[in-house]
Chain A
Amino acid sequence: MNNLDPRPGVIDRRLDAVERLVAVSGGKGGIGKSVVSAGLALVLARQGLRVGLLDLDLTGPCGHLILGIDTSFPEESFGLIPPLAHGIRFMSISCFTGAEAAPLRGADVSNAIIELLTIVQWGRLDYLIIDMPPGLGDALLDAVRLLRRSEFLIVSTASRVVVQTVQRTLRLLDMVQVPVAGIVENMQRDGYAADPDIRALARDRGLPFWGSLPFDACLEPAVGDPEALACTAFAQALGKMVRSHLLAARD
């Protein structure tokens, strides 16, 4: 017998009591996946739902910065208990590294993700939001392989450069038969209609277009302050989308 990795066998058990897993992706960096992930978690938590946020960006984690969460070692109890902050159970590599760099190659990224999924005890959650790193590499493939009940929320911006990467992401998800909950346009500029290319992407694939989130100058000053974040036009628009597309189905 070859050496067997004991970790993948328990990942499903860790997520048994999680109702929905929503992975926020889009392929490109800098399109606002992390702020959409954090915003989603915040909006859902403020609706009184049990929410977790897993930051899978191991080399550039920032969920803790956006939500103003102190990073410290999680409590140990038959695994690691994600700390509860602002009503959100939160886990990130930054809980172990703080602001230090984690220079990881592909296989290391994969191993670290498997380790986290093995040892983190999420408990009962209505939603686990997973902030995916950029790219179609190890993290995305591991999320697809190991988080078998996950659905993806795809973030795009009105840039041809981004849209083509989003298109590739959608092709991959289609290939591996992972459901897509919807597509959202981020950083929509004042006075512009929803980007026709993004709408077309959704329409051609029969996917729900959640709508457009504004480029909001108030967002950066609100980073680290969940109360201020929740009052931004960005969070208000995201809240509407969540009520129409996630919670409506739930009700």
Chain B
Amino acid sequence: MHEFALAEGVAVTAVQAARKEGLQRITRLTVGIGELQQIERELFTGALREVMPAIHPQLAGVELELIVRPARLRCRACGQPFDLQAGNSELTEDQAEAIHFVPELAHTYLRCPACGSPDFEVMEGRGVWLEEIEGA
């Protein structure tokens, strides 16, 4: 599972951010998952649970909230806003998998539903990010 690599990134970044914010311990992490990358929340939670204590003991038992954010796309050619359902109706399994690995490959496989252009902007909901750290 390549999700472990991203989970490791979340763990390392949380520790770095906590240090920067002067937190002695982390109690809760909020992680955003962009719909475009199609990462399963349960699977990513499992990956985080497994990876986090190995990165820092401080991360063992931290409360996790994972929020899936919808992908919002907008065509640069015609200005049409659209969502993932409108843009990916004919994706094959391999094409969806490619976007799962590298979300920018949406530009290879998705099209603006209005004009067919691959030149669109991913306004929101691309990949994985750390939204919030709580601690003391």
- Chain A residues close to B by CB (< 8 Å): 1, 3-7, 9-10, 13-14, 73, 76, 78-80, 93, 96-97, 100-105, 108-109, 111-112, 115-116, 118-119, 121
Contact = CB atoms under 8 A, between A and B. Distances in A.
A111 B129 CA distance: 13
Interface string B122-136: 000011111111000
A125 B40 CA distance: 32
Contacts, number: 103
Nearest to A81: B2
18 contacts: A3-B129, A3-B131, A4-B129, A5-B13, A6-B13, A6-B14, A9-B13, A13-B8, A101-B108, A101-B118, A102-B105, A102-B108, A105-B119, A108-B107, A112-B104, A115-B127, A116-B102, A121-B5
B62 interface: no
B103 A97 contact: no
Contacts of A93: 102, 105
B98 A97 contact: yes
A118 B9 contact: yes
A92 to B, nearest CB: 11
B108 A100 contact: yes
State the majority secondary structure of interface residues on B.
helix
Residue of A6, A14, A80, A101 most packed against chain B (CB within 10 A): A6
Contacts of A104: 104, 107
Given A1-B133, A4-B17, A104-B107, 7 more contacts: A5-B13, A13-B8, A73-B97, A79-B2, A102-B105, A104-B104, A112-B104
Contacts of B14: 6
Interface string B1-43: 1101110111011101100010000000000100000000000
Given A79-B2, A80-B101, A111-B126, A6 B9 contact: yes
A118 B105 CA distance: 16
B119 A103 contact: yes
Nearest to A14: B5
A106 B4 CA distance: 27
Nearest to B17: A4
Nearest to B21: A1
Interface in B84-112: 94, 97-98, 101-105, 107-109
Contact of B8 (A10, A76, A102, A116): A10
Contacts of A96: 98, 101-102, 105
A78 B102 contact: no
A96 B101 CA distance: 8
